[in-house]
Amino acid sequence: MEEEISLREIYLILKKHARWIVAPAILFTVLAAIYVFFLVAPEFTSEATLTVQSTQIQAKSSDQLQTQTVQGFSNSQITTIATSRPVLEQVLKTAQADKDVPGAWLKENFDAEQFGKKLKVNFAAATPGSPDQVSVPIFTLTANAPNAAISAVVANTWANQTVTRLNQLPKDRLESTITTIQGQLDRAEKNLATTEQAFQTFSTSSTLVQDQAELTASTDERTKLTDELAQAIQALDEIKAQLKTQNENLQNAEAVIPQNNNSTNGNTNSSNNSITSMSGDLETVRANLSAQTQTARQKYFETSNAVQAFEANNTIPILQGRVDSIVARLNVISTKLQSSQTELNVAQSRLTDTKAQLAKQPQLLNLSREITSDPAIMATITANQSELKSLIGLKLQNQELNPAFQDLLQSSIELQLTVNNITNENTAFIKEKASLEKFLPTLQSQLATLNQKKSRVTLEADIAQTVYTSLQNRLAQLSGIRNTGSKPLTLDNPNIEYQRLRSSVSDLSVLEARQNATFTALNARATQLDNRIVLLRGRVAKAAVENSRLSDRLSLAQQEFKALTQKLTDLKIEQASSGNLAQVLVPAFAPTRKSNSVLVVVAIAAVVGLLLGLVIPFLIEGIKEPVLIEQDVTSGAKPQVKSI
């Protein structure tokens, strides 16, 4: 079995070799003190505290400037800029120009990379805040140097260089954007001047206004001619119908009232003479005239009853009103179709031109610049030349909405809606016109039949009344005549109704000829106006399309120039009103004590020596020969060691 060592034995061993425990601790402490005070160079640390704001004045398209939160710098970007080679080289150059600079910093092999080991960037922990609060980075730049004054100089120079680079970065970006916008503005200004010149030339040489006025006057005159032609056709049809009816009535009158009625010989001879002779014995004439009067009276009552029966069921005014309303509606539809067709052609031409311009306009404007123009990225490339050389030559692009594209798109949508509305309206008018034209002949046929029937019934009643009245008058005349001898009685009997009808037929024939001449003249004028209207519509449509195209181009050019001018103005206002984002909160001061603590190094050396001294006694006891304890430890006597 292995023998266990007690705490008392450990204590006796340590007490026996106490000098070996104290000696290493003293030795290490002395060596550490010599090293710290005589061999190690002193080191001083200075700190400069900086901050980077995330809010600055931005120009807005309004009556006043507004404050807007913009993207600041991340910790990695700040570290990259602070430790970039240009910044470190400038700081080292400033430190080397100081009279207190260490000699090691003036050596040729002491470059910016070795100098960067003396510097360090530390960021303060973010403080919790409300969700909409923008965090403001606060960081310190620490510089180590063997001289207190030079450490403060290095820290302050490093802080100033970092602040300068951080403040210059957004200004360089803004300057690059202004340069790009200025180039686009020059192009837009040239385009605006060219478009204005083209529009002015067209406006000077175009006869669009005169042609539109003439087209309006010609269209109005053609509309009136359409009404006059319709009225002339209707009047001519009425005259022809009346002429036909009067011819029939004339034939009926010839049949009702004989031209020549000779009671003496019993023969009846008709001729074209307007005088009817009635000859023979007086009593015979009276008897014949009385019989004819009774027949005429019966015919008169029959025709009067027929007229009353027709008037009781007369629908001519209703049909005439419906026909007139349909004809008026057809004239309105024809006029609207003619005007809307011109509007449709103009709208379609404008839509085609707008779509062509829309296809040429980019939806987004690209603002490109070299990636090396960004100082932050250039600093990163410089600090990491081996890894980021491939970034040289690349370009950064920023895209913005093209206002010209937005306006063209809106115009295209509005024109498409206009074309659809006009097309739908024309389709509805065409359907309505077809329906009315299909229904109108039926009404006109019914109206013509009723008018013909009315004329016939009325004429028969008038003829019967005239014949009856004439025979009554003649019978009254014969009542006062006495027979003077054997000589036959001869009376001249003028047929008044026959003469009236024949005169009416003659007048209607003359009126028909005049109406035909009027209709021919109106038709010739209508043909002349139609040809002129077709010519004017073509010229007006072509000029309107060109005017619309040039107007749209001018409007787009003006809007583009205005948008770019406003954008450039906003950027320049932003450039003039933008402040410095980065600033030094607390500059560095020369430290009053060294940063490398002497007591810590000496204390560490003493502890290490003491630990080593505690191990030495056990090593000595381990290499000695085993000993025997002759006296019990509990007796209190001094133990005797005996070698075996």
* CATH number, domain containing residue 96: 3.30.1890
Distance between CA 10 and CA 176 in Å, rounded? 80
How does pLDDT run across 12-50, given as a tens digit for each residue? Answer: 877 777 787 788 878 878 777 776 666 555 677 888 888
- pLDDT for residue 297: 84
- In which band, very low, low, confident or very high, does the pLDDT at 223 lie, cut at 50, 70 and 90? confident
Is residue 420, in this structure, part of any structural domain at all?
no
Query: Buried b vs exposed e over 142-178: b needs ≥16 C-beta within 10 Å?
Result: bbbbbbbbbbbbbbbbbbbbbbbbbbbbbebbeebbb
Distance between CA 404 and CA 555 in Å, rounded? 9
Strand blocks (E) in 505-573: none
- pLDDT for residue 491: 46
Task: Return the DSSP state at 261.
Answer: B
How does pLDDT run across 237-278, given as a tens digit for each residue? Answer: 888 888 888 787 777 766 554 443 433 333 333 333 333 344
Q: How many CB atoms lie within 10 A of CB 535?
A: 13
pLDDT tops 70 at residue 600: no
Which of 66-70, 197-201, 497-501, 515-519 shows the lowest mean pLDDT across its residues? 66-70
Q: Write down the pTM of the prediction.
A: 0.43
- pLDDT for residue 637: 47
Is residue 392, in this structure, part of any structural domain at all?
no
In contact, 612 and 24? CB cutoff 8 Å = yes
Question: Based on the number of CB atoms within 10 Å of its own CB, is 643 exposed (0-12), middle (13-18) or buried (19 or more)?
Answer: exposed
Is residue 65, in this structure, part of any structural domain at all?
yes
Instruction: Give the helix ranges, DSSP H, for 368-402.
Output: 375-383, 385-388
How does pLDDT run across 131-145, given as a tens digit for each residue? Answer: 434 456 788 888 887
How does pLDDT run across 178-219, given as a tens digit for each residue? Answer: 888 888 889 888 988 998 888 888 888 888 888 888 888 888
List the one residue out of 224, 146, 167, 174 whose CA is nearest residue 52: 167
Question: Based on the number of CB atoms within 10 Å of its own CB, is 4 exposed (0-12), middle (13-18) or buried (19 or more)?
Answer: exposed
Distance between CA 186 and CA 193 in Å, rounded? 11
H or E stretch at 556 = helix 496-577
Is residue 310, in this structure, part of any structural domain at all?
no
List the one residue out of 410, 343, 415 whose CA is nearest residue 556: 410
Q: Provide mean pLDDT across the span 524-550.
A: 88
How does pLDDT run across 433-475, given as a tens digit for each residue? Answer: 888 888 888 888 888 888 888 888 887 887 777 778 877 777 7
End-to-end distance of the chain based on CA atoms, in angstroms? 19
For all residues of the chain together, what is the average pLDDT? 75
How does pLDDT run across 302-351, given as a tens digit for each residue? Answer: 888 888 888 888 888 888 888 888 888 888 888 888 888 888 888 888 88
Task: Return the DSSP state at 38.
Answer: I
Is residue 337, in this structure, part of any structural domain at all?
no
Distances (CA, A) of 147 to 369, 432, 592: 45, 104, 10
pLDDT tops 60 at residue 284: yes
- pLDDT for residue 48: 87
How distant is the alpha carbon of residue 55 from its chain centre?
33
Q: Count CA within 13 A, CB hemisphere, residue 68.
A: 12
- pLDDT for residue 62: 44
Is residue 483, in this structure, part of any structural domain at all?
no
Which of 94-98, 107-111, 260-264 shows the lowest mean pLDDT across its residues? 260-264
**Domain residues for 140?**
7-184+573-618
H or E stretch at 491 = strand 489-494
Q: How many domains does the chain have?
A: 1
Both tokens assigned to 191: 């385009």
pLDDT tops 70 at residue 567: yes
Both tokens assigned to 541: 């449509």
Q: What are phi and psi of 83, to 5 degrees?
A: -100, 15
Distance between CA 247 and CA 502 in Å, rounded? 8
